[in-house]
């Protein structure tokens, strides 16, 4: 049948059927070599409706491919169970962020940040480097931390080094201040005056600590110049979101000395 008739049978648009073909999910059963017209069969309807249902649920295309390629019902169930687990983890993360936001909006002054200003010598950070996207900051940093742990870093709390101003994509190093063999990536943290504070709570609410830190620097007549560091003092695999402790610090200059 023609692509139009097939789309009507599946209760889809022709555009959707063409998109599924472009993604390699639903190839036409036949393409006329002279006209380029696409033809489908009734046997392809279950696959088309399956794709449509999964995409309506925002199941990623690679997972849809796995479902279509699964040899039996047990394999399909296993793929979908994995997707359910990802959704459950994401839902739990979002609920945690919403709870933190509720608390912040209800009582914005309930958390006070003590800022320390001190001179520090130059330090050399050794670890692994990767590209981090501002839109997926938490996930990308978590992945970079896992890479660092796989590389053999585990004796000290991990530290991430960021530029002062976020960009769409940033080069970030995660490592420790001691030099470790086998880790070629390194970055020097310059000597100078650093301001720092501690944040207790989910990584998603770190922005509150940044606001307090940078506002304190400004109020004291200094200027933050970067870089910025985050030191993860607790292990997220053994600590709950509300128990996570993160030290953030920024290099600064100014008219007053600590």
What whole-number distance in Å separates Cα of residue 216 and Cα of residue 210? 10
3-state secondary structure of 18: helix
For the domain covering 3-69, report its CATH number: 1.10.1660.10
Rg over alpha carbons for the chain, rounded to the nearest Å, is 26
Would you state the pLDDT for residue 258? Answer: 37
Under a CB-based contact definition with an 8 Å cutoff, are residues 232 and 157 in contact? yes
Would you state the pLDDT for residue 247? Answer: 96
What whole-number distance in Å separates Cα of residue 170 and Cα of residue 242? 27
Would you state the pLDDT for residue 4? Answer: 92
Domain residue ranges in the chain: 3-69, 116-254
What whole-number distance in Å separates Cα of residue 113 and Cα of residue 244? 15
What whole-number distance in Å separates Cα of residue 206 and Cα of residue 224? 17
Would you state the pLDDT for residue 207? Answer: 85
3-state secondary structure of 97: helix
CA distances from 152 to 1, 116, 131 (A): 58, 31, 20
Under a CB-based contact definition with an 8 Å cutoff, are residues 248 and 230 in contact? yes
Would you state the pLDDT for residue 239? Answer: 86
CA distances from 16 to 23, 152, 241 (A): 11, 47, 41
What whole-number distance in Å separates Cα of residue 103 and Cα of residue 109? 10
Per-residue pLDDT of the chain (258 residues; tens, 9 = 90+): 999 999 999 989 999 999 999 999 999 999 999 998 999 999 999 999 999 999 988 899 999 999 999 999 899 999 999 999 988 888 877 777 677 667 666 665 556 789 999 999 998 888 899 999 998 888 899 999 999 888 887 667 999 999 999 899 999 999 998 755 556 678 889 999 999 999 988 888 888 889 889 999 999 899 999 899 999 999 888 888 888 999 999 999 864 433
- The single-letter DSSP state of residue 165 is S
Would you state the pLDDT for residue 103? Answer: 64
The pTM of the full predicted model, rounded to 2 decimals, is 0.63
CATH 3.90.226.10 fits 116-254, yes or no: no
3-state helix, strand, coil in the chain (%, to 5): 45, 25, 30
Phi-psi domain of 41 (left: phi exceeds 0; alpha: psi -120 through 50; beta: other)? beta
Would you state the pLDDT for residue 50? Answer: 92
Would you state the pLDDT for residue 110? Answer: 55
DSSP E strand boundaries for the chain: 30-31, 38-39, 116-120, 123-133, 158-162, 169-176, 185-189, 192-200, 222-232, 245-254
Would you state the pLDDT for residue 253? Answer: 86
């Amino acid at each position: 049948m023609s692509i139009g008739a097939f789309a009507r049978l599946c209760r889809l648009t022709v555009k959707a059927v063409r998109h599924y073909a472009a993604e390699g999910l639903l190839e036409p059963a036949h393409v006329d070599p002279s006209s380029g017209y696409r033809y489908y069969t009734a046997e392809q309807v279950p696959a088309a409706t399956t794709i449509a249902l999964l995409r309506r649920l925002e199941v990623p295309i690679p997972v849809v491919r796995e479902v279509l390629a699964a040899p039996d019902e047990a394999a399909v169930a296993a793929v979908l169970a994995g997707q359910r687990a990802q959704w459950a983890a994401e839902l739990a993360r979002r609920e945690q962020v919403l709870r933190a936001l509720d608390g912040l909006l209800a009582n914005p002054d309930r958390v006070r940040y003590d800022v320390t200003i001190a001179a520090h010598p130059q330090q050399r950070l050794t670890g692994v480097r990767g590209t981090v996207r501002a839109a997926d900051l938490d996930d990308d940093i978590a992945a970079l931390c896992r890479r660092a742990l796989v590389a053999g870093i585990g004796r000290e709390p991990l530290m991430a080094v960021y530029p002062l101003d976020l960009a769409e994509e940033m080069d970030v190093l995660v490592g420790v201040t001691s030099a470790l063999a086998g880790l070629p990536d390194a970055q020097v943290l310059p000597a100078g005056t650093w301001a720092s504070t501690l944040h207790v709570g989910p990584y998603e609410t770190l922005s509150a600590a940044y606001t307090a830190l940078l506002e304190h620097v400004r109020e004291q007549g200094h200027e933050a110049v970067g870089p910025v560091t985050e030191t993860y003092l607790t292990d997220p695999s053994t600590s709950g979101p509300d128990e996570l402790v993160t030290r953030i610090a920024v290099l600064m200059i100014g008219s007053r000395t600590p």
